[in-house]
Structure 1
Amino acid sequence: MSTLYQDLIEANIGKVLENEPLAKHTTMKIGGPAEIFIEPSNSEHLTKAFRIIKKHNVKWRAIGRGSNLLVADQGIEGVVIKLGLGMDDFELNGDTLTVGGGYSIIKLATIISKKGLSGLEFSSGIPGSIGGAVYMNAGAHGADMSKILVKAHILFEDGTLEWLTNEEMKFSYRTSILQEERPGICIGAVLKLQKGEKENIVAVMQKNKDYRRDTQPWNYPCAGSIFRNPLPNYAGQLVEDAGLKGYQIGGAKISEMHGNFIVNAGGATAQDVLDLIDFVKKTIYEKYEVSMETEVEIIGLK
């Protein structure tokens, strides 16, 4: 791995670190080290780094702002690529927005709302990046990325770059083609917005933000919703009905505000969270015969 590290350093592609604690890069503040951690300074440097990674034939994975993510305590083998600074440009042309995969979706939604453009109101309060939002078809309040995405710029495992249309992304509930069928990194996206009344758009944004503040425990480190809603049921309601709000294993605790959130109440390990997830799954199935599936992405387990 040291040869790979040296090659990446010499390539001058941006930030390159060894054994970087991923707890510093996740909203849950949990996670062991990445053997090599890189934050490319632009899309060209990302492509250059990717060629070096493939040449060394090591495992890799991408992260954005670290929300919706639980990293194992033992960390991640190979290379972790963070889309951040340098991958966060955007260009607005009328009601069409071209944006880098590393751009904060909250920040973008705020900027766009003030320009009287509608379509991103649902994302107010979602602490992720555009790339991650496309990857998992992030959504809330009855809307999601599939409603506004025109096409996505994807870097695939073999190093090829390709634009995929909305249809080719095969979006469904919190899912896209990138998760299993064709693993890749969303490095950019083109979004189609709609012109509207700025005051109305900003008001909806504020309403969504207030709802999240009043119902979700963002004062604690957390990863967002832990479970997918097993429709027609809602995960948070099932957990609350089962009397599990406030239940704690180690430093991991089911939020007393919202049953579908597990918070880091202090010193939580990934194993604490995994044990709590398993406990919830078992309890809900025993009580209601409903199978719970995780929405949070769990990575680094061997």
Structure 2
Amino acid sequence: MDNHTILEALTTFLPKSLIKVDEPLKRYTFTKTGGKADFYLSPTSHIEVQKIIEFAYNNQIPLTFLGNGSNIIIRDGGIRGIVISLLQFNQITVNNQSITCGSGAAIIDVSRRARNHHLTGLEFACGIPGSVGGAVYMNAGAYGGEVKDCIDYIKAVDDTGQLHVIKGEDLELDYRTSIVQRKHLVVLEATFKLKDGDINSIQATMDDLTQRREDKQPLEYPSCGSVFQRPPNHFAGKLIQDAGLQGHRIGGVEVSTKHAGFIVNVDNGTATDYENIIKHVQSVVKEKFDVELKREVRIIGERLKD
């Protein structure tokens, strides 16, 4: 099926205003890098998402889901097929000690809404830049807390468009992994179960974590957040620092001089620059300390053709 035929088919069940053709994806990533998507769709209902998935599945069209683009690198060749944006699903609803939110909601906003309703348990997320869907996908965590501690259940779809409701204890959440990853599910909605707390204490904790984050992290530059997982018995940033790699630059991308665990876009860097510097860091750390650094950031899409 060629792109013209795909476009015609999409307009039979999606308004044209929700369809963008050859859309530059660097507009949607924190690194400000990434090539074009053949089709970039912004569905506004779960039914529309299911219809897109069913259409793609039946016609063997590649399908990619994109949250807020905070912990991902999209290659410079872009993404073939269909990219679905989930940012429209950003509602946040509080009901007693539960907060239900769309997968496109920023986890920071959810933590703030919890605070405003005197609910404790999501303070750790006050500085995590990802979406709710991404946070569940990788069991996001910081400063001793993680999604695993407070998730109640999610609604997700599989690669055929079928909807599933999965309890928190069945998500197999572990360090930066989940059943959502392993079964290629797409989170549409998540509900967190929290506890009543004192708003002043909650705010104090959030202020402390925010200050610690601002002190340590290079927030002044575009980046993809923490690039590497924590190796057993080590800290990735410490290994990279001890390897003398802070400030090392390839193209417009460099290892942050403020926090070695971050790689920042300082001068119109590309996704290729990111890939090359990540591989270089992994190689040097392996050579110097015999430790393999595994990526936390996802890298997707196609490389530019020569």
Q: What is the TM-score with the length of structure 2 in the denominator?
A: 0.95
8 A Cα contact 1:114 1:202, kept in partner: no
Contact kept, 8 Å, 1:95 with 1:194, in 2: the verdict is yes
1:76 aligns with 2:79: yes
Counterpart of 1:273 in structure 2 is: 274
Aligned residue number for residue 248 of structure 1: 249
2:107 aligns with 105
Residue equivalent to 1:213: 214
Superposition map of 1:93-172 within 5 A: 93-172=95-174
Asked if structure 2 preserves the Cα contact closer than 8 Å seen for 1:255 and 1:263, the reply is yes
Question: Is the 1:226–1:295 contact (alpha carbons within 8 Å) kept by the matching residues of 2?
Answer: yes
Shift of residue 107, structure 1, vs aligned partner: 1.3
**Structure 1 residue 50 and structure 2 residue 70: aligned?**
no
Contact 2:156 2:187 survives alignment (8 Å): yes
* Maintained 8 Å contact 2:51/2:161: no
Q: Distance in 2 between matches of 1:234 and 1:253?
A: 19
Runs of 4+ that moved beyond 3 A = none
**Deviation string for 1:71-101 (max 9, x for gaps)?**
011011111111012x111221110111111
Structure 1: 5+ residue stretches without partners:
none
TM-superposed CA distance for 1:231, in Å, is 2.1
Report whether the alignment pairs 1:175 with 2:177.
yes
Kept in 1: contact 2:156–2:165 (CA 8 A): yes
**Which residue number corresponds to residue 232 of structure 1?**
233
Which residue among 66, 70, 75 is the counterpart of 1:67? 70
Measured after TM superposition, the shift of residue 48 of structure 1 is 2.3
Structure 2, gaps ≥5 residues long: none
- Does structure 1 conserve the Cα–Cα contact (< 8 Å) formed by 2:282 and 2:293? yes
Alpha-carbon distance in structure 2 between the residues aligned to 1:172 and 1:301: 29
Report the residue type matching 1:163 in the other structure. V
TM-score by length of 1: 0.96
Partner residue, 2:194: 193
CA distance in 1, matches of 2:123, 2:169: 22
3-state SS of paired residue (1:98): strand
Contact 1:4 1:53 in 2 (8 A): no
Tell me the secondary structure at the aligned position of residue 40 of structure 1: coil
Give the CA RMSD over aligned residues: 1.3
SS at match of 1:199: helix
The answer on 1:90 being equivalent to 2:89 is no
Structure 1 residue 12 displacement after superposition: 2.6
Kindly provide the amino acid, as one letter, of the partner of residue 95 in structure 2: N
Please give the alpha-carbon distance, in whole angstroms, between the structure 2 residues aligned to 1:50 and 1:283.
41
Give yes or no for contact 1:23–1:31 (8 Å, CA) kept in 2: yes
Q: Deviations over 1:208-258 (max 9, x none)?
A: 111111111111000100000102100011111111111100011001110
CA contact (8 A) 2:108 2:126 kept: yes
Identity %: 35
CA–CA separation in structure 1 for the residues paired with 2:282 and 2:84: 31
- 2:44 aligned with 1:24, yes or no? no
What is the CA–CA distance in structure 1 between the aligned matches of 2:273 and 2:210, rounded to whole Å? 29
User: Which deviates more, 46-55 or 136-145?
Assistant: 46-55
SS in structure 1 at match of 2:100: strand
Contact 2:99–2:114, Cα closer than 8 Å, also in 1: no
* Distance in 2, Cα, partners of 1:58 & 1:8: 12
Q: Assess if the C-alpha contact under 8 Å between 1:228 and 1:293 holds in 2.
A: yes
Q: Is the 8 A contact 1:154 1:187 kept in 2?
A: yes
Q: Alpha-carbon deviation of 1:271? A: 1.0
Q: Distance in 1 between matches of 2:14 and 2:264?
A: 38
Q: Which amino acid aligns with 1:109?
A: S
